[in-house]
Structure 1
Amino acid sequence: MNISINQSLFTMNDQFKIGLIHYNKIVVAESPQMIKGRTQLYQEHLFLDLQDSPLTERPGIQEWRKLWKFFGADPNRYRHSAESLMRRIAKQNYLTPFHSAVDLNNFFSLQYEIPIGIYDIATIQDPIEIALGDENTGYDGLNGRYNALTNILYSKDKLGAFGSPFVDSSRTAVTEKTTDALQIFYLRPSLSVDDCEQLLATAGKMFTQVNGGDFKVSLLSFHNQSTTY
């Protein structure tokens, strides 16, 4: 599987980075009580924090809003997924458990304040490219409607677009039948390479502690624009 970033993105921000974790031989099931409890407690603490300071001033949320706008999308109309999750929590509309892969994906997104997507590799046709959408880019999303991705980052394979930091497609959703998965981290450009690699390694270790299997980490950047699994 080859994964690359469209070079044009670096002309807009040469610090742009994408983190990748490839999981294989995982077992997706109901989240263990430990993960459910930890996620609930984290949301309750986050709710209290959000009462004292505006959500848009949190470093990760703020940085991604600026990047969103820089690429040409309206961050108030098309909120990235990490901000959407936090806005739910600010209203005490806490996330309910779904399954072990999605629950951890959401937990990482809240913890690191960045959009993250996870996809069933069995539904993807190589190669994968991360690019900027235009007026012809879009798909049927997990939110139950068609989502246009003009000026929004997205991932595509041979069949077309399948993921973005806005909302993911239903075509590549991870289910309890998934055994191989790809997780895409839309990292904060301000993070150093070392910090990004540490973040990915920590997330991969925690994910496989819950779901089993193995993982491999890659970091795409200006100096490393593609990788092969």
Structure 2
Amino acid sequence: MQLTIDTSIFSKIPDFKLGIIYYNKTIVSASPQMLKGRLQLFQEQLYFELLDKDFTDFNGLAEWRSIWTTLGADPSTKPPALQLLLQQIKDRHYTPSFHSAEDLNTFFSLQYEIPTVIYDADKIAGDIMLSIGTAEDGYEGLNNQFNTLENILLLSDGYSPFGSPYVDSIRTAVTEETENIIQLLFIRPSLEQDQALQLTNACGKMFTSINGGDYQSSVLDRQNPNFILTKEVEQ
């Protein structure tokens, strides 16, 4: 399985970077109390920050809202998933614990101020393309609505679109039966390549310390827009 970033993205965002982590033979389960507590505490701390801050005061979110505008999308009507998370926290509707993979994905997004997504790799058909969505692109999302993805970063496989940093589809959702996971980190373009790789590896290490399994990771950019995923990871 190969993931490729379409060249149209680099024409609009020359420094675009995508962290990719492939987890092999993980065990997704109810989150340990340590992770539940850490996620809850982090959201409570952010709530008090949001009493005095606007969303644009968060550097990561401000950068991603700017990217949304560059792509032609409206962040006020279809914001990045990170903004939706912060809005819920501001309204004191904290994201509850779901399972160990999703909770970590939420934690990484809040900690690094970037959109993050996870997918069941065994539900993906063929190769993956990251492109910019058109008016014809859409799917049933985890928000229980049909979502159109025009001018929004869009992940598609050989079957159909299945994900984005706005909202993901039901088809490729990670469950407690999932063993192989693809996680994508929509890293701030302003971050240097070595810092982006450090961030990506830090996420991989923390994820496998809780869920087990192995991981392989990379940061894709204009010079390196492809990544090949293999089911067995060499140590």
Q: How does 1:119-134 map to 2 (within 5 A)?
A: 119-134=119-134
Give, in whole Å, the separation in 1 of the partners of 2:16 and 2:131: 12
Residue of structure 2 in register with 1:194 after alignment? 194
For 1:118, give the aligned amino acid: I
For 2:190, give the aligned amino acid: S
Residue of structure 2 in register with 1:147 after alignment? 147
Q: Is the counterpart of residue 112 in structure 1 residue 112 in structure 2?
A: yes
Residue of structure 2 in register with 1:57 after alignment? 57
Give, in whole Å, the separation in 1 of the partners of 2:145 and 2:44: 30
Residue of structure 1 in register with 2:33 after alignment? 33
The Cα RMSD (Å) is: 0.6
Residue of structure 2 in register with 1:24 after alignment? 24
For 1:55, give the aligned amino acid: F
Q: How does 1:79-228 map to 2 (within 5 A)?
A: 79-228=79-228
Q: How high is the TM-score relative to the length of structure 2?
A: 0.96
Q: How far off its partner does 1:56 sit?
A: 2.1
Deviations 1:178-197 (A, max 9, x none): 00000011111000101110
Report the count of equivalent residues: 229
Q: How far off its partner does 1:57 sit?
A: 1.8
Q: How high is the TM-score relative to the length of structure 1?
A: 0.99
Give, in whole Å, the separation in 1 of the partners of 2:56 and 2:76: 11
Q: How far off its partner does 1:100 sit?
A: 0.4
For 1:49, give the aligned amino acid: E
Identity among equivalent pairs (%): 46
> Runs of at least 4 residues of structure 1 off by over 3 A?
none
Q: Is the counterpart of residue 4 in structure 1 residue 1 in structure 2?
A: no
3-state SS of 1:139 partner:
strand
Q: How far off its partner does 1:8 sit?
A: 1.1
